[in-house]
Amino acid sequence: MPDMTPDEFRKYGHRVVDWIADYGDRVGELPVRSQLAPGDVRGALPAHPPEHGESFDAVLADLDRVVLPGVTHWQHPSYFAYFPANASGPAILGDLLSSGLGVQGMLWATSPACTELEMVVVDWLAELLALPADFTHAGTGGGTIEDSASSASLVALLAARHRASGGEVERSGATGRQTVYVSSETHSSLEKAVRVAGIGADNMRVVGVDENLAMDAAVLDRAIVADVAAGAVPAMVCATVGTTATGAVDPVRAIGEVCRRHGVWLHVDAAYAGVAAVCPEFRELNDGVADYADSYVTDPHKWLLTNFDCSVFWVRDRGPLVGALSVLPEYLRNAATESGAVVDYRDWQIPLGRRFRALKLWSVLRWYGAAGLREHIRSDVESARRFAELVAADDRFETVAPPRLGLVCLRPRWERIAGVDAAAADELTARLLVELNDSGALYLSHAKVRGRTALRFCVGAPATRWRHVEAAWERIRAGVAELADS
Ligand SMILES: *Cc1c(COP(=O)(O)O)cnc(C)c1O
């Protein structure tokens, strides 16, 4: 098969866009979670690649026949699991333009627009979220788009490790024994980062949480004092704004005071909740960030209408970050880099190469405007609030943590409904979850909250309206009634 001609590209491109538009129209009629078993998709595909090129029609036919049944529909209006991964028309089109340009933006010189548009959109987002001016490219720091919050937190740790070792870690690998502080509710990506960075999980302190599942700053302080006394070098504390299990918020201000006293890097992981700060009424979540955070990450791909992947990461001081990650081989040398007048984003991430992700975030910010983004967040928070009210009004259920933004964690009170003990109750909750998700009508996930199994219900898919939330609640109630009868 020869190259696809521009006319062929146009023809199939229109069909693909039509396909995506139709998908958006009908996604609500599909089972939310894929109903396939392991191996079904692979089994439906040929074992060997084609020797001769095929028509794109054949690819599109297999998309419907093989791929779609194996897709879990994250854009389904009844998707309430994990944190929804937001997509939107403008983001899809922005991503398509990025593919069309096919740019690899490792250096400013490899495409100035790729770097400078990114600098502008992350500065815009910092302003929309009321993050401190230090975090912008006009200040001492700046932001960048990473593939995920996991990568951003690893990069934060590498910068923190660099600062704590005075750069010794990059020279000799010798850092002394560095320690990192998280809470029992911190996302698992931090432990992964600690492992990848070579700090070792034994040097990660899991600080206890209070009754709100938030890190206890006094316990953190004691842990740091004890480690310093034992000869360790505390490198980083990760505070979470919106934990994954329940949306709990660590006291960033109190934690920040501890960090400042001991000279420890404060990274704030706001992967889910951070974007809610587009609304002034939710900015108190970030209390302390402006005064104390060294780095901050939030994911527009979780709740700001931007297709995965788009995780925005800011630092207050770009020095340690670039110090940790910049290596300049001869083949990347160029006049712009040498002039010092440009940002080379390869120094802000692990890989060298990078996509032109700014196009999709730019498309989203321009299409919705700040007002449209606020409306999206507010309507989800309002739906979650009303859902929590329904839960609270039914004495067969309880919320196991305060509802936070779009997230409600709940459980049926099986002890009361079925007269069973806690262990049997947790098993019934787990069975309920399987049955609800197997139905294809909705999709929830679960968490352990204070040792008990809870359902996690997160409103955030762009297509979700109150009627879908209400229908999900009726499904959950009916599921409980059926299990109680059986
Ligand atoms: C989802 C989540 C992450 C991981 O996000 P990715 O972008 O998927 O890596 C990290 N931290 C928190 C608090 C999260 O909720």
Q: Look at residue 174 and tell me whether its pLDDT is greater than 90.
A: no
For the sheet with 295-298, list strands across it.
142-146, 311-315, 295-298, 265-269, 233-240, 178-183, 204-207
Q: How far is it, in rounded angstroms, from Cα 304 to Cα 188?
A: 22
Q: Does the C-beta of 303 come closer than 6 Å to ligand 1?
A: no
Q: How far is it, in rounded angstroms, from Cα 346 to Cα 83?
A: 29
Confidence of residue 175 (pLDDT cuts 50, 70, 90): confident
Q: Which residues contact 37 (CB under 8 A, 6 or more apart)?
A: none
Q: Does the C-beta of 298 come closer than 6 Å to ligand 1?
A: no
Residue with token string 């960048």: 144
1 token code pair: 């098969």
Work out which ligand 1 atom sits closest to the CA atom of 299. 7
Strands (DSSP E) along 64-155, which ranges? 142-146
CA 137 – ligand 1 centroid, Å: 24
Mean pLDDT over all residues of the chain? 97
CA 154 – ligand 1 centroid, Å: 12
Residue with token string 């501890």: 258
Provide the β-strand partners of residue 379.
Answer: none
CA 239 – ligand 1 centroid, Å: 13
Q: 311-363 pLDDT, tens per residue?
A: 999 999 999 999 999 998 898 899 999 898 999 999 999 999 999 999 999 99
Instruction: Give φ, ψ of 33 to 5 degrees.
Output: -95, 135
Q: Which residues contact 251 (CB under 8 A, 6 or more apart)?
A: 214, 215, 217, 239, 288
Q: How far is it, in rounded angstroms, from Cα 130 to Cα 229?
A: 38
- What is the per-residue pLDDT for 1? 82
Q: Does the C-beta of 297 come closer than 6 Å to ligand 1?
A: no
Q: How far is it, in rounded angstroms, from Cα 103 to Cα 111?
A: 7
Q: Look at residue 307 and tell me whether its pLDDT is greater than 80.
A: yes
CA 327 – ligand 1 centroid, Å: 28
**What is the residue type of 273?**
A
Task: Spell out the alpha helix ranges (H) of 335-438.
Answer: 335-339, 358-393, 414-418, 422-438
361 token code pair: 């975030």
Provide the β-strand partners of residue 209.
Answer: 215
Mutate to test the pocket of ligand 1, among 244, 249, 349, 445 (most ligand atoms within 8 A of CB): 244
CA–CA distance from 259 to each of 229, 243, 249, 252 (Å)? 16, 20, 17, 10
Mutate to test the pocket of ligand 1, among 147, 250, 272 (most ligand atoms within 8 A of CB): 272
268 token code pair: 């704030």
Q: Does the C-beta of 186 come closer than 6 Å to ligand 1?
A: no
Residue 50's CB is within 10 A of a number of other CB atoms, namely 9
Mutate to test the pocket of ligand 1, among 155, 183, 186, 187 (most ligand atoms within 8 A of CB): 187
CA–CA distance from 15 to each of 20, 40, 58, 178 (Å)? 9, 27, 13, 55
- What is the per-residue pLDDT for 29? 97
Q: Worst-scoring range by mean pLDDT, 171-175, 268-272, 366-370, 454-458?
A: 171-175
CA 150 – ligand 1 centroid, Å: 6
Q: Does the C-beta of 86 come closer than 6 Å to ligand 1?
A: no
Domains detected in the chain: 103-355 (3.40.640.10), 365-485 (3.90.1150.10)
Count of H helices and E strands in the chain?
18, 11
Residue with token string 């690819």: 59
Confidence of residue 173 (pLDDT cuts 50, 70, 90): confident
Q: 176-197 pLDDT, tens per residue?
A: 899 999 999 999 999 999 999 9
SS3 121: helix
Confidence of residue 486 (pLDDT cuts 50, 70, 90): confident
What's the average model confidence in pLDDT over 429-435? 98
Are the CB atoms for 300 and 125 separated by under 8 Å? yes
**What is the residue type of 21?**
A
Q: Which residues contact 418 (CB under 8 A, 6 or more apart)?
A: 424, 425, 428, 484
DSSP code of residue 345 = G
Q: How far is it, in rounded angstroms, from Cα 372 to Cα 377?
A: 9
Q: Look at residue 128 and tell me whether its pLDDT is greater than 80.
A: yes
Q: How far is it, in rounded angstroms, from Cα 462 to Cα 340?
A: 42
Which residue in 229, 227, 222 sits closest to 199, CA to CA? 227
Tell me how far the alpha carbon of residue 328 is from its chain's centroid.
31
Q: 402-416 pLDDT, tens per residue?
A: 999 999 999 999 999
Measured distance between the N- and C-terminal CA atoms of the chain, rounded to whole angstroms: 59
Q: Is 436 exposed, middle or buried (0-12, 13-18, 19+ CB in 10 A)?
A: buried
**What is the residue type of 197?**
A
Q: Cis omega (within 30 of 0) on the bond before 250?
A: no
Question: Atom 5 in ligand 1: which residue has the minimum CA distance?
Answer: 149
**DSSP letter for each residue of 256-320:** HHHHHHHT-EEEEE-TTGGGGGGSGGGGGGGTTHHHH-SEEEE-HHHHSS--SS-EEEEES-HHH
Question: Atom 15 in ligand 1: which residue has the minimum CA distance?
Answer: 244
Q: Phi-psi bin for 176: left (phi > 0), alpha (psi -120 to 50), beta?
A: left
- What is the per-residue pLDDT for 350? 97
466 token code pair: 């109150």
What's the average model confidence in pLDDT over 145-171? 96
Q: Does the C-beta of 245 come closer than 6 Å to ligand 1?
A: no
Question: Does the reported pTM lie above 0.85?
Answer: yes
Confidence of residue 388 (pLDDT cuts 50, 70, 90): very high
334 token code pair: 């160029």
Q: How far is it, in rounded angstroms, from Cα 372 to Cα 472?
A: 26
CA 155 – ligand 1 centroid, Å: 14
